[in-house]
Structure 1
Amino acid sequence: MDNGTNRTPWRGQLTLRGVIIGCVGCVIITASSAYTALRLGALPWPIVFAAVVSLFFLKLLGNASLNEANVTHTIMSAGAMVAGGLAFTIPGAWMLGYADQVGWTQMLLVALCGTVLGLACTAVIHRHFIVDSQLEFPMGNAAAQTLRATEAGGRTGAQLFGSMGIAGAYTVLRDALGVLPTMLASLPIPGVTFGIYNSPMMLSVGFLVGGAAVAWWFVGAAFANFGLVVAGSAAGLWSVEAAQGIVKSLGMGLMMGAGIAVVIRDILPEAAGILRGMRGGDASGDGQESLVSGSVRLDAGILGLATASVAVLACVGLGLGPVPAVVVVLLAFVTTAMSAQSCGQTGIDPMEIFGLIVMLVVAAFSGLPQVRLFYVAGIVAVACGLAGDVMNDFKAGAILGTDPRAQWLGQAIGGVLGAFVAAAVMVALVSAYGPDAFGPDKQFVAAQASVVATMVSGIPSVPAFVIGLVAGIALYYANLPSMMFGLGVYLPFYLSFTGALGALAKVAYDRVCAARRKDLSASEKEEAHAKSDESGLVVASGLLGGESVVGVIIALASVIAGLAG
């Protein structure tokens, strides 16, 4: 059936070959995303990368349309944020000694609960944020423009898979064979892990994020490490150990303050409009309201049954109890709206902050054991991560004319598959490296999960946390990237420094490309600029994907070798 516009019918956009390609890519991207999130404490959006790969393989099979590629990349990228939601929360339980209580079953239930809630919530808020609000959603916009501009043929494929192969080989030499060092240019500075992380992936993160965001990230790192730790301890204001606690608490406060500011400034004033969009019905006749069945009444029943099932599963399967389970479900609708607003305006989805907020609310009245509070944070983080991903996909679809129902169903396929893959990869990593490998200054920094663990077990410096909370809100109101500044404060310095080097590489790359274009005509300059941007994006994404995928393979090989031994 057609949806009333000039779009291809949704069944022609959600194709069997697209589902197969999307599922294969989903497994790879989900696994690499879990590894990236744990190793770097950050997770770049895989949307544009997935869009390029989807179009490339569909074109190899012939007769590919942009709408089919858009739905395929929706499937392919869905599991990444599910993995992020788990990676940003659950390892905190390992850090507190609960590794034996959080296995594959618990992580799978958390991921499935969050996935179903994310799908239900985005079906409800889709109309407001995509049709009515017309937010930018920069990553979704970038994916749409990339699909429009990219001729995913030989040159693009060679760049993508060539860079993936180089990064993969580099990772084998570093992590499996020990030929290459993990750190370069390390300096023995008390309290500061100074050095360059020998990682194509981390350099690629800085290259892809680039600009003012990375600048604020690095400023936060320099202020925390050399202002508070080095200068503060040298002046006798506190010991190095106390300074590290202050830095950790300040970083947490900054990130949480930014999340609260999103609610106060961006969500609450729009609450009436969101509610109107929720009950918009079929009045407009634009086909944008009903994403599941095409009938608003039937959709309401399906989504209501889905959320009720999550409440029961969380209550019984995860042992949260009836009241906390209902509170999690209700607040998930609020936090996914927060996530959509944040992604629409800034392109940033602080999913773990939203999970942390709900966790603190539940902890305030429930008396749940510590380990189960991580389940609460995980469910909400997965829901918000999936919501950010699907709302970006919806934005790309709105630009390209893709049927949102096909995208929503594709997101459901990829999200559920991603839940299984993400839980399996998390188990593989903790089995291969042990729970002691996770935490700040460890092999897997798991920065966000460490924040959650710290909030569960106690904040090192309450005054620093309060200062950070207020500063995060103030910076956000000043239209400054307080979330990135807080991330720099919290993360080990070597990660921030390496990311900054990646951003500098982007500046140098842009200048070299601009110099090569200076003698071209205006139209030729525009075309050359688009090609250079595409090449940089593809190569950086390939480097990131190559290291993260091979890192997962090395971990899995270690687990298999251990079982065989």
Structure 2
Amino acid sequence: MSDIQKSVKYAISFKEQFTVRGMIIGAIGAVILTMSSMYVALKLGALPWPIIFVALVSMFCLKVLGNTNINEINVTHTAMSAGAMTAGGLAFTIPGIFILDKEADLSMAALFATVFGGVILGLIFTALIRKYFVVTKELPYPMGQAAAETLIVGDEGGQKSLTLFISLGIAAIFTVLRDWFAAIPATIMNSSLVGKGVYGGIWLSPMLIAVGYIIGPLFIGVWFLGAIIGDFGIVIGGTAWGWWDAGTASAIKSSLGIGLMVGTGVGIIVKGILPKAKEIFGPMFSKGAMSGSFINLRWAPIVMVILAFVFTIVCDMGIIASIITLLGVWLATSMSAQIVGQTGINPMEVFGIIVLLAAKAVSGLGHTEAFLVAAVVAIACGLSGDVMNDFKAGHLLKSDPKAQWIGECIGGIIGAFVSVGVFYVILTAYGPEAFGNPEMFIAPQAGAVAAMVGGIPHMTSFLIGLVAGCVLYCVNFPVMTLGLGVYLPFYLSATAFIGGALKFVVEKAAPDWDKKGTGLIIASGLLGGEAVIGVIIALIQAIQGMSAL
């Protein structure tokens, strides 16, 4: 038994954990967090886990209402966080449709069927694999453990929640001044570097600095190393030495970054899934597996048949690709659970790429339909990673997994509606040309998916990155963030690096302050404040645009 479990003195009933007020708070939080997560994912190409943020918000709200308990708080924040990763799965894939073709047509019915289907599949498979990864194998799930510790410490008082909301307000005011009144510049660029094809400078963004702080100095350092390799090595160095021209340099940079990220997914399969395939998947075929879970899943096969029909007809995938998608989600959610449990990283779009490549290999998928396949998988994997973190926290705190799972259903379904709505708001406000634009919504993961669908610009570099990514992952190098750094514009990586450097300084100069989690709380507030205001500004602009028609 862990120290966290020893500190939980009692268990309480389902009705005391799963409450109406908790679900109302969770639902409202899910709406806000889904909106902000869509903005963050499109703008930065990174989506830090929201679990600490929502744990503190849930604790603050329920303590204000009074007569709460740690498990009610835990179930409430479980519902609140589900929409974030639903939004991430959408943002990391679907914008690629417009990156590839600015004139592409995507119906809301097809998009909603895709997002809703991914949510339902993610919920089904995480219910099946929870026991293996959380209870039997006892994977660490670092973010889940951090959430459990936060809730226990939070019982001591409400100062942390106050700090959170103050930092959120500061970031919100800064964003309004920068993006609405233009009183603060958005970026500071080095014109000489821009002339050489490198977006050299920094983005004045509390949100991105917060991302760097939350990710930490190790991973952000590797991310920045990737930026140096991509921009100063390949683009500036390669062209200066006469190895290639500027256009080729850009193709090599992006292809290498994509290859490293996809290679990470291959490494996960080779190292984490294939050697343990019987252990992971075997229990799902055992007698009574569907009914022996904490939730009765005898209805799940019927739902999957219905989803296959919906994917075939509404999303126009075709029956073969629809079946491949369902099987791919089954494999990919297990991959997601494994890597999140071990490292806290969830490369959901990479899993989507792997499955879309399999579907394209055996069927005549069109470009738009290929993106929908990737989106179903990415959304299911995003939700899977979030659910498994929450299940880990619940296991430590002795929460009822059924209460958590139902809360996750509520949050995930809300996230499906809100994420589709926000996507169309952004599309209406800024137009399809905004996606893939470094100055608007870079959406690098969606760009990687677009490259796989439309054709890798430099195949040799992609294959080098693929092999290197697989090998480096197998030797425990954080290669996913290296690939992200190679792919992203330098100014985003440089700003994130500032946050990672601040985290390093705090760890060394003020270790006691760092252990209390104050820096993490401030970072969560900065991230949430800018992201929410960014969505609100987009919403206002979309309304203004529609009014002018």
Give TM-score, length-normalised by structure 1: 0.92
Instruction: Write out per-residue CA displacement over residues 446-484 of structure 1, whole angstroms, 9 at most, x where no aligned residue.
Output: 000001111111111110000000100111111100111
The alignment of Structure 1 onto Structure 2 pairs a total of residues equal to 538
Aligned runs of 1:71-470 on 2, under 5 Å? 71-97=75-101, 100-151=104-155, 153-189=157-193, 190-279=196-285, 290-293=293-296, 299=297, 301-470=298-467
Q: Distance in 2 between matches of 1:79 and 1:164?
A: 19
SS at match of 1:193: coil
CA shift, 1:442, in A, is 3.8
Deviation string 1:16-66 (CA, Å, 9 cap, x unpaired) is 011000000000000000000000011111011111111111111111111
The counterpart of 2:520, out of the listed 537, 542, 546, is 537
Question: What displacement does 1:153 show?
Answer: 4.4
Name the aligned partner's letter for residue 290 of structure 1. S
Other-structure match for 2:534: 551
Q: Aligned Cα RMSD in Å?
A: 1.8
* Cα 1:42–1:20 shift into 2, 3 Å: same
Are the aligned partners of 1:288 and 1:404 in contact in 2 as well (CA < 8 Å)? no
Is there any run of 5+ residues in structure 2 with no aligned partner, and where?
A: 1-8
Alpha-carbon distance in 2 for matches of 1:288, 1:126 = 14
CA contact (8 A) 1:356 1:452 kept: yes
The answer to whether the 8 A contact 1:120-1:307 is kept is: no
**SS at the partner of 1:480?**
coil
Letter matched to residue 164 of structure 1: L
- Supply the distance in 1 between the matched residues of 2:345 and 2:403 (Cα, whole angstroms): 25
Deviations 1:319-339 (A, max 9, x none): 111121111111110000000
- Identical positions, percent: 47
Report the 3-state secondary structure (helix = DSSP H, G, I; strand = E; otherwise coil) of the residue aligned with 1:184. Answer: strand
Instruction: Measure, in 2, the Cα distance between the counterparts of 1:311 and 1:450.
Output: 27
Which digits, 9 at most, give the CA deviation of each residue in 1:344-400, with x for residues without a partner? 111000000000110011111211111111100000000000000001111101111
> Corresponding residue for 2:4?
none
| Contact 1:47-1:140 at 8 Å conserved across structures | yes
- SS class of match (2:201): strand
Question: Separation in 2 of the partners of 1:54 and 1:41?
Answer: 27
Question: 2:150 and 2:484 mapped to 1: Cα distance?
Answer: 29
- Decide whether aligned partners of structure 1 residues 310 and 125 sit closer, same or farther in structure 2, where only a CA change above 3 A counts: same
Greater CA drift, 368-377 or 155-164: 155-164
* Counterpart Cα distance in 2 of 1:344 and 1:440: 33
1:185 positional shift: 4.7
Normalised by the length of structure 2, the TM-score is 0.95
Q: How far off is 1:440 after superposition?
A: 4.9
CA offset at residue 103 of structure 1? 3.8
2:451 aligned partner, one-letter code = T
Q: 1:7 matched to which residue of 2?
A: 11
Could you tell me how far apart the structure 2 residues matched to 1:180 and 1:337 are? Answer: 45
Check the 8 A contact 2:336/2:384 in 1, yes or no.
yes
Are positions 1:560 and 2:543 aligned together?
yes
Structure 1: give runs of 5+ residues left out of the alignment: 294-298, 515-524
Alpha-carbon displacement from aligned partner over 1:122-159 (angstroms, at most 9, x marks no partner): 11111111111111111111111111112474422321
Q: Retained in 1: the 8 A contact 2:78–2:407?
A: yes
Q: Say which SS state the counterpart of residue 199 (structure 2) adopts.
A: strand
Structure-2 separation of matches of 1:418 and 1:187: 41
Structure 1 contact 26–75 (Cα < 8 Å) conserved = yes
